[in-house]
Chain A
Amino acid sequence: MSTIVWIKNVLLEEGLNTSSNSSVETRTSLYHLKIENGRIARKQPAEESIEGGFLTFDAQGLLALPSFKEMHNHLDKTYLSLDWKACQPVSNLIERLNLEAIELSELAETAEQRATSMIRLLQSKGATHIRTHVNIDPYIGLKNLEGIRLALEAHSHQLSYDIVAFPQHGLINSNVPGMMKEAMRSGATMVGGLDPAGIDRNIEKSLDKMMEIASEFDADIDIHLHDSGQVGYYTTEKLIELTKEAKWQNRVAISHAFNLGEVPIAQQEKIAKELSENGMAIMSTVPITKTMPPVGLLEQSGVNVHFGCDGFYDSWSPYGTGDLLEKVARYSEIYGKRDERGLANSLKFITGGIIPLSDTGDVQWPKVGDAADFVFVEASCSAEAVARTPERKAVMFQGKLVYGEL
């Protein structure tokens, strides 16, 4: 039996006006949308009346944006729902990992509760997809995975998700490869990895092992790569080689990838092309303390770039908001995207590539057949939403209201 819902009076972008001084303005109109089985079945101007007898939401002129994808989080690490705690300063990554190891078992008991709070926070900011990494390590084993899986499953009607088995304390580390395989049998959907040079201290073996597990479970990959400069670059090159050998095209993502912005431009251009050819994606948290990967170059080269909030309110970082729209505003501010199209285009990094209008003003979204995944905000256009980060009035996943009210 099909479920039908109408959403009335939705503000949607429908074109661009260019004025005499070559500045661009976005044109919008009100529409009614018919949602059938979670997808848009009909899009009609608001002047036309709608059929009665169905559940109807009134958006009252709120602007609809494509809903957001949180592409890098650590649901297992957050302190959210527990008491406030700042972080302890450390002098290097090893010290940080040692501190985490002590804390992991204390936190394990509340994994589901903490993850649930984070999921709700992310939803309230507009995310309907969450990619979380979950520690698989000698201290915690698979204990966190269980809690995170339960928390996500409980929300599976409200969002989609990926769970990356993440060897935070090294993949080439005692029995971690065995645990990683166990994790893949116990609810993890992707294989992770971490700094083959800096942590595993054996680039080739670390990458081989990660690829081997991915092949065994026919799973996609998302590796944390903080290793900087040329060693990070070499690691990226090796990962591209392995991706080609294993025919894992369109299935590999690199998180952070600071190195891409730290090498000479010619190298950046070369690797951007190779990443694009192999359908490899880059995940960035839009840091303001480190080099960003060269997002503009990557995008022009056809590499998919996605933003995430990373873990926050945890032993690594006391600050964060869970607001992807704010990440886009930050990105736009850093890169001087201040005009109408620059702002509007930046939205793609949090929507899985979807933006309402093309640069020529053609409507790309929403169209009949698209998933009914929306964020509703009080704004006149997506450029305004990016610059001004208005509060989220409502969030919809497959035609179901998952946050706020209409």
Chain B
Amino acid sequence: MSNHWITNVRLEKGFKKDDNRITGTETEIVHLEIENEIIKSISKEMPNDSAVKYDAQNHLLLPSLREMHIHIDKTYYSGPWKACTPITNGIFTRLDEEKELLPKLLPTAQERAENMIEMLIRNGHTHIRTHCNVDPVIGLKNLEATMRAIENYKDSITYDIVAFPQHGLLRSDSVELVREAMKNGATLVGGVDPATVDRHIERSLSTVFEIAAEHNKGIDLHLHDPGTLGSFTFSRLADYTKEASMQGRVTISHGMALADLEGPAFTSMLNELQESQIDVTTTIPINRPTIPVVEIDRAGIEVSLGHDSITDHWSPFGTGNTIQKLGVLAERFKYIDEFSLNQILKYATGGITPLNQDGEQVWPRIGDTASMILVNASCTAEAIARRADIKAVFFKGQEIKNKLPQ
């Protein structure tokens, strides 16, 4: 395959210091040669070969973003405005609503999922992990719509589809449906609150692990249960993970209880999760305590971000803009300095930052997959604090954002 160039790219190359305090970020302008989906060379001299050149106009290059928790199968996005109905019976108000709503949304499910994927691409994502309802109301029909939508964007994104028994794996008797979903394209086994939804922690968890083992797939569970109930569930999840030798293949979504723990109980929970190599995704909620992202990360537990909803019957809010979400993360935890703002990018990129903690340039390297974005900012810290616009998105070397209908 022939090579091409992305010229006039701004890369971060180190931190500016004043008396050992990091005061800013140094950048340089370079040109990237792309071949076979990877970065083949990085040059300071403008190439004079005849290969195709894409001019990055000195915009800052960052790794592309990962949307790690979303539901593209049930959304009002791109459809007519609809506010949420008032809640009368907690989460069950929403579950009851789905009985009517999901069949009504089905005819537009694929179209809306596609619009959502395009919106996420415009916002710099090249990986999407979507949960997809698998339940007695809609059966596998949402999964089919989601698969068709994703198939149409397989040249622009990588993905995971979590078979998600929204109405309870046990509670709604969806075990066989989840099994079917795993045979029909789902890539991860999902679940929700083994205690308060399924009302049987052990049976719920053991069934999830059983299905995962049958299909040799990973796990991603919605765990909202708070306090000691949530932390007990995490603890059992960690036990099951070790017993099944599933280290590194299990995700806790939301993990609200991590925001409720303190002192030794928190530390010991982090140890358990780290030992089982369980990772965590969060939406950085502002209407309840946010899990302490950086402390969890420092304990060696990978944290990633997701938008969850972009307007649906659960919530009318949501933008799909992960740069904005990083800004909320910064604001929530008062990260106001150059170094902190720079480093929190990792939660949106699968751990990649252009500069490591010592300020050494570690990305991009020759041989890296050329999935990246261009933003109008002088450095990562500015991009996050001032919510930079995304100018271009590259997936394996190909620009994909500006090719979409704008």
User: In residues 18-61 of chain B, which contact A (Cβ within 8 Å)?
Assistant: 21, 23-24
Q: Quick check: A84 and B327 within 8 Å, CB to CB?
A: no
Partner of A380, one of B80, B286, B328: B80
Q: Verify if A338 is at the interface (C-beta below 8 Å from B).
A: yes
A interface: dominant SS? loop
Q: Verify if A388 is at the interface (C-beta below 8 Å from B).
A: yes
Which residues in B have their C-beta under 8 angstroms from that of A388?
81, 311, 316
Q: Verify if A343 is at the interface (C-beta below 8 Å from B).
A: yes
Q: Tell me whether A288 and B317 are in contact in the complex, defined as CB-CB below 8 angstroms, given that A318-B341, A339-B84, A380-B80 are known contacts.
A: no
Q: Verify if A86 is at the interface (C-beta below 8 Å from B).
A: yes
Q: Quick check: A333 and B286 within 8 Å, CB to CB?
A: yes
A-B contact count (CB 8 A): 101
Q: How far is the CB of A383 from chain B (nearest CB, A)?
A: 5
Which residues in B have their C-beta under 8 angstroms from that of A383?
81, 83, 316
* A316-342 interface code vs B (CB 8 A; 1 in, 0 out): 011101000000011011111011101
Q: How far is the CB of B303 from chain A (nearest CB, A)?
A: 18
Q: How far is the CB of A38 from chain B (nearest CB, A)?
A: 31
Q: Quick check: A288 and B311 within 8 Å, CB to CB?
A: no
B interface: dominant SS? loop
Q: Verify if B200 is at the interface (C-beta below 8 Å from A).
A: no
Q: Verify if A174 is at the interface (C-beta below 8 Å from B).
A: no
Chain B residue with minimal CB distance to A287? B331
Q: Quick check: B317 and A89 within 8 Å, CB to CB?
A: no
**Which of A89, A317, A318, A335 is the most central at the interface, judged by chain B CB atoms within 10 Å of its CB?**
A318
Q: Tell me whether A86 and B338 are in contact in the complex, defined as CB-CB below 8 angstroms, given that A23-B85, A387-B311 are known contacts.
A: yes
| A contact residues, range | 35 or more
Q: Which of B186-194, B212-220, B359-367, B377-385 is the contact stretch?
A: B377-385
Which residues in A have their C-beta under 8 angstroms from that of B315?
333, 338
Chain A residue with minimal CB distance to B377? A84
Partner of B331, one of A84, A319, A335, A340: A319
Which residues in A have their C-beta under 8 angstroms from that of B378?
83-84
Q: Verify if A130 is at the interface (C-beta below 8 Å from B).
A: no
Which residues in A have their C-beta under 8 angstroms from that of B319?
389
Q: Verify if B170 is at the interface (C-beta below 8 Å from A).
A: no
Q: Tell me whether A84 and B328 are in contact in the complex, defined as CB-CB below 8 angstroms, given that A22-B86, A333-B317 are known contacts.
A: no
Q: How far is the CB of B32 from chain A (nearest CB, A)?
A: 24
Q: Verify if A88 is at the interface (C-beta below 8 Å from B).
A: yes
User: In residues 257-306 of chain A, which contact B (Cβ within 8 Å)?
Assistant: 288-289
Q: Verify if A379 is at the interface (C-beta below 8 Å from B).
A: yes
Q: Verify if A357 is at the interface (C-beta below 8 Å from B).
A: no
Q: Tell me whether A86 and B332 are in contact in the complex, defined as CB-CB below 8 angstroms, given that A22-B86, A330-B286 are known contacts.
A: no
Which residues in A have their C-beta under 8 angstroms from that of B316?
338, 343, 383-384, 387-388
Q: Quick check: B337 and A86 within 8 Å, CB to CB?
A: yes
Chain B residue with minimal CB distance to A317? B336
Q: Quick check: B341 and A86 within 8 Å, CB to CB?
A: yes
Q: How far is the CB of B389 from chain A (nearest CB, A)?
A: 12
| Total interface residues in chain B, CB < 8 Å | 36
User: In residues 377-398 of chain B, which contact A (Cβ within 8 Å)?
Assistant: 377-379, 381-382, 384-387
Q: Verify if B330 is at the interface (C-beta below 8 Å from A).
A: yes
* B317-338 interface code vs A (CB 8 A; 1 in, 0 out): 1010000000110111110111
The complex places the Cα of A313 from the Cα of B378 at a distance, in Å, of: 15
Q: Quick check: A288 and B84 within 8 Å, CB to CB?
A: no
The complex places the Cα of A23 from the Cα of B101 at a distance, in Å, of: 14
Q: Verify if B2 is at the interface (C-beta below 8 Å from A).
A: no
Partner of B332, one of A288, A318, A321, A336: A288
Q: Quick check: B21 and A319 within 8 Å, CB to CB?
A: no
Q: Quick check: B85 and A319 within 8 Å, CB to CB?
A: no
Q: Verify if A381 is at the interface (C-beta below 8 Å from B).
A: yes
* B103-120 interface code vs A (CB 8 A; 1 in, 0 out): 000000000000000000
Q: How far is the CB of A108 from chain B (nearest CB, A)?
A: 21
* B285-316 interface code vs A (CB 8 A; 1 in, 0 out): 01100000000000000000000000100011
The complex places the Cα of A233 from the Cα of B86 at a distance, in Å, of: 34
Q: How far is the CB of A101 from chain B (nearest CB, A)?
A: 18
Q: Quick check: B86 and A379 within 8 Å, CB to CB?
A: no
The complex places the Cα of A387 from the Cα of B84 at a distance, in Å, of: 11
Q: Verify if A85 is at the interface (C-beta below 8 Å from B).
A: yes
Which residues in B have their C-beta under 8 angstroms from that of A343?
83, 316
Chain A residue with minimal CB distance to B339? A86
The complex places the Cα of A388 from the Cα of B86 at a distance, in Å, of: 18
Chain B residue with minimal CB distance to A286? B286
* A2-42 interface code vs B (CB 8 A; 1 in, 0 out): 00000000000000000001111000000000000000000
The complex places the Cα of A385 from the Cα of B148 at a distance, in Å, of: 32
Q: How far is the CB of A244 from chain B (nearest CB, A)?
A: 37
The complex places the Cα of A340 from the Cα of B81 at a distance, in Å, of: 10
Q: Verify if A102 is at the interface (C-beta below 8 Å from B).
A: no
User: In residues 348-377 of chain A, which contact B (Cβ within 8 Å)?
Assistant: none
Partner of B83, one of A84, A313, A333, A338: A338
The complex places the Cα of A380 from the Cα of B286 at a distance, in Å, of: 26
Chain B residue with minimal CB distance to A319? B385
Q: How far is the CB of A333 from chain B (nearest CB, A)?
A: 5
Chain A residue with minimal CB distance to B100? A21
Which residues in A have their C-beta under 8 angstroms from that of B84?
338-339
Which residues in B have their C-beta under 8 angstroms from that of A319?
327, 330-331, 336, 384-387
The complex places the Cα of A292 from the Cα of B332 at a distance, in Å, of: 14
The complex places the Cα of A381 from the Cα of B82 at a distance, in Å, of: 10
Q: Verify if A87 is at the interface (C-beta below 8 Å from B).
A: yes
Which residues in A have their C-beta under 8 angstroms from that of B338?
86
* A231-256 interface code vs B (CB 8 A; 1 in, 0 out): 00000000000000000000000000
Which residues in B have their C-beta under 8 angstroms from that of A317?
336
Q: Quick check: B382 and A334 within 8 Å, CB to CB?
A: no
The complex places the Cα of A343 from the Cα of B83 at a distance, in Å, of: 8
The complex places the Cα of A388 from the Cα of B315 at a distance, in Å, of: 11
Q: Quick check: B328 and A21 within 8 Å, CB to CB?
A: no
User: In residues 81-137 of chain B, which contact A (Cβ within 8 Å)?
Assistant: 81, 83-86
Which residues in B have their C-beta under 8 angstroms from that of A84?
24, 377-379, 381-382, 386
Which residues in A have their C-beta under 8 angstroms from that of B341?
86, 318
Q: Quick check: A381 and B286 within 8 Å, CB to CB?
A: no
Q: Quick check: B83 and A336 within 8 Å, CB to CB?
A: no
Q: Tell me whether A318 and B381 are in contact in the complex, defined as CB-CB below 8 angstroms, given that A288-B332, A384-B81 are known contacts.
A: yes
Given A289-B334, A338-B316, 10 more A-B residue pairs with CB atoms under 8 Å apart are A86-B23, A86-B24, A288-B286, A288-B331, A288-B332, A313-B386, A319-B385, A335-B287, A336-B287, A338-B315
14 A-B interface contacts by CB (under 8 A): A22-B85, A83-B378, A86-B337, A86-B385, A289-B331, A289-B334, A318-B336, A318-B381, A318-B385, A319-B331, A329-B317, A339-B84, A384-B81, A388-B81
Q: Using a CB–CB distance below 8 Å, which chain A residues touch chain B? A: 21-24, 83-89, 288-289, 313, 317-319, 321, 329-330, 332-336, 338-340, 342-343, 379-381, 383-384, 387-389
